[in-house]
Amino acid sequence: MSGLTVKAINPAIGAEIEGLEPTIPLDEETVRTLRAAFDDRGMLVFRDFFVDAAFQQHLLYSLIDDDPPPDERVSVQVSNKEQGGLAPYGRLLFHCDNMWARKPQPAISLYGEKVEPPSAPTRFAGMGYAWETLPDELKARVEGLEARHGFDGGYPNRGGDDDVLDAAFPASAHSVRPVAMRHPRTGQTLLYVSQQATNELLGVSDEENEELLAALYEHLYRPEYVIDHDWREGDLVVWDNIAIQHGRGTVALDGPERTLRKVTGPMNIDPDEYLPPSFSKVEERTS
């Protein structure tokens, strides 16, 4: 018996898990139960769950049925206080990490290491549920389209908001994917466009681009289906970075401490398509 409790967080995405013993390795039945919840809900939350980076990585790789690379640094920090912390300030629009890369990165996890209230929430939105519930008329208009994702002009949809962190990606890396993209592991159809990373829909006029993307974003980010995760120390959140987008509220350098330990699944980035952004520890990891 896995002895786990799986409780849905909202109708679209997310499950809170209780009763997990953080042991390495996790037993087969536990992994089966967790994987089913992960594939079904896209995002798992564990609270008051004080674990180290090694367990965080073991859990994440168990969920995607993969083995961690032995030579990779296990964790980095997202922090407004720690030296060299990733994304140390600003607001983050909804995105999947490395949406521009040729191969999607399957999973991400964050753990609350040092969190002083009030702390900006991490926000989550589900692309599978968004596709399922997209009105038929809109579905018919975007079904056969492809979208281009990339940061080669900075984030494309900053919209004049100075709070939005605009990472200076010098790379001209980008990806082109179907708007109705099939998830490579679960087979679910996803509404695969995001506020932060999508440049344009291909093959439609500028006006139609603007109109369609605005309508798709309105549907994707309906407040009733977004989860705002308010951090506490000892929170672990693991999510499917292909099916679930994340963003966050504004973080200030002189605000309360917000230090989260980040462990990711395989980055799947070819060295020739990547140059590091200017703000983060990613520079250290790739140099």
Question: Measured from the CB atom, is 78 or 115 closer to Fe ion?
Answer: 78
Cβ closest to Fe ion, residue 33 vs residue 79: 79
Question: Which residues, in sequence order, are CB contacts of 33 under 8 Å at separation 6+?
Answer: 2, 4, 6
Least distance from Fe ion to the Cβ atom of residue 246, Å: 6
Residue 255 CB: number of other CB atoms within 10 A?
15
How far is the C-alpha of 26 from the C-alpha of 62, rounded, in Å? 8
3-state secondary structure of 266: coil
By beta-carbon proximity to Fe ion, the closer residue of 109 and 189 is 109
CB of 281 to Fe ion, least distance (A): 13
- Report the candidate in 4, 70, 67, 71 with the shortest Cα–Cα distance to residue 38: 4
CA-nearest of 239, 196, 16, 285 to 108 is 239
Q: Which is nearer to Fe ion, 131 or 239 (CB)?
A: 239
* CB nearer to Fe ion: pick between 135 and 154: 154
Q: Please, what is the minimum distance in Å from the beta carbon of residue 268 to Fe ion?
A: 15
Binding mask 77-116 for Fe ion (x = CB under 5 A): --------------------x-------------------
Chain residue at closest Cβ approach to Fe ion: 97
* Least distance to Fe ion, CB of residue 280, Å: 10
Q: Which residue lies nearer to Fe ion by CB, 32 or 73? A: 73
Q: Which of 31, 34, 29 is nearest to 44 (CA)?
A: 34
Considering only CA atoms, which of 248, 92, 242 is closest in space to residue 177?
Answer: 242
Draw the binding track, 222-261, toward Fe ion (x: CB under 5 A; -: no contact). Answer: ----------------------------------------
Cα 243 from Cα 126, distance rounded (Å): 6
**What is the nearest approach in angstroms of Fe ion to the Cβ of residue 95?**
6
Rounded distance between C-alpha atoms, residue 225 and residue 227, angstroms: 7
Measured from the CB atom, is 97 or 113 closer to Fe ion? 97
Interatomic CA distance for residues 38 and 90, integer angstroms = 29
Could you give phi then psi for residue 128, rounded to 5 degrees? -70, -50
Work out how close the CB of 29 gets to Fe ion at its nearest, in angstroms, rounded to a whole number.
32
Residue pointed to by tokens 């506020």: 195
> Rounded to whole angstroms, how far apart are CA atoms 220 and 273?
29
Site for Fe ion in 139-158 (CB under 5 A): none
Residues within window 58-77 making contact with Fe ion, judged by CB under 5 A:
none
Give the nearest distance from C-beta 97 to Fe ion in angstroms.
4
Question: Residue count at the site for Fe ion (CB under 5 A)?
Answer: 1
Nearest CA to 93 out of 235, 193, 212 is that of 193
Residues engaged in binding Fe ion (CB under 5 A): 97
